[in-house]
Amino acid sequence: MKAKDGDDQDARTFTQQARRAQIVQAAIETVAEVGYPNTSFSKIAQRAGLSSTGMISYHFARKPELFAEVVNTILRAAGDITATRMRTAATYRAKLRAYIESNFEFIARHPAYTQALVEIVTGIRFRDTTSLGGLEKAVVSVDGLTDFLSEGRAAGEFGRFDSFTMAVSIRGAIDNFLRQHMFDGDLDIARHGREVADIFDLCTRPGAGASN
């Protein structure tokens, strides 16, 4: 939610944004299908029905710019679902459950997005200079979740634990389900979402503390 978005929107025409969206969509699907390392402009162009890769270069100055938008698009979609569900929850404990379960909901509703994200997040070299320009940091970041847990602990709703460690664990548990889901599409995602929420509900209970 950057103010810079507004400028971007002004600068680009409607047609341009439509094309960009189309390309981004094709890129997501391609990554989801063949994997990030195997995703080339020509495959994306083919899927998008473009006549040449030049069309992609026309709309995106460079490869990282395209994938930055891809990641942005995915994160925005995921963030929308999560934020909405969390807002309607009253307590921190309920919000945590909403966070976890809505992430699983996103997996179920946007499998291609999910797959693409997993591919890109770790497929892109983290310290790569030609990379997403800080965006990969946003992807891996658990800052928001960490802060949320800290707030909840300050409010007395959670037990004793290190917020960062817990945040990494929660996020990792969710992401690992993405991967499992990529293998075994038969997983009951909603059920597993509830179970994971149960697990972390359990170990964040007030009174329960890291006893060592």
Which of 25, 33, 35, 57 is close enough to bind DNA by CB under 7 A? 57
Among 25, 65, 194, 206, binds a copy of itself (CB under 8 A): 194
Q: Cβ neighbours of residue 51 under 8 Å, at least 6 residues apart?
A: 45
Q: Is residue 50 at the binding interface for DNA, with CB under 7 A as the rule?
A: yes
- The mark string for 130-149 relative to a copy of itself (x by CB under 8 A, - otherwise) is -------x--x-x-------
Main-chain dihedrals φ then ψ at residue 205, nearest 5 degrees: -60, 140
The C-alpha atoms of residue 23 and residue 48 are separated, in whole angstroms, by 6
42 touches, from a copy of itself, DNA, none (C-beta below 5 to 8 Å by class): DNA
Q: Which one among 36, 99, 148, 158 touches a copy of itself, defined by CB under 8 A?
A: 36
Q: Min. distance of Cβ 40 from a copy of itself in angstroms?
A: 11
Per-residue b or e along 106-131, where b marks 16 or more CB atoms closer than 10 Å to that residue's CB = bbeebbebbbbbbbbbeebeeeeeeb
Distance CA 175, CA 168 (A): 10
- Crossing angle of helices 41-48/14-34, nearest 10°? 120
Q: Find the binding residues for a copy of itself in span 74-103 (CB under 8 A).
A: none
Among 5, 7, 21, 38, binds DNA (CB under 7 A): 38
Burial of 161 (0-12, 13-18, 19+ CB in 10 A): middle
Q: How far is CA 160 from the centre of its chain?
A: 28
Query: Which range, of 1-9, 64-72, 79-87, 159-167, touches a copy of itself by CB under 8 A?
Result: 159-167
Are the C-beta atoms of 142 and 167 separated by less than 8 Å?
A: yes
User: By CB under 8 A, is residue 21 in contact with a copy of itself?
Assistant: no
* Both tokens assigned to 33: 């299908």
Question: Beta-carbon neighbour count of residue 194 at 10 Å?
Answer: 16
Site for DNA in 4-33 (CB under 7 A): 11-16, 19
Residues at the contact surface with DNA, assessed by CB under 7 A:
1, 11-16, 19, 38-43, 50-59, 61-63
Residues at the contact surface with a copy of itself, assessed by CB under 8 A:
34-38, 118-119, 121-126, 128, 137, 140, 142, 161-162, 165-166, 168-177, 179-180, 182-183, 192, 194-196, 198-203, 208, 210-212
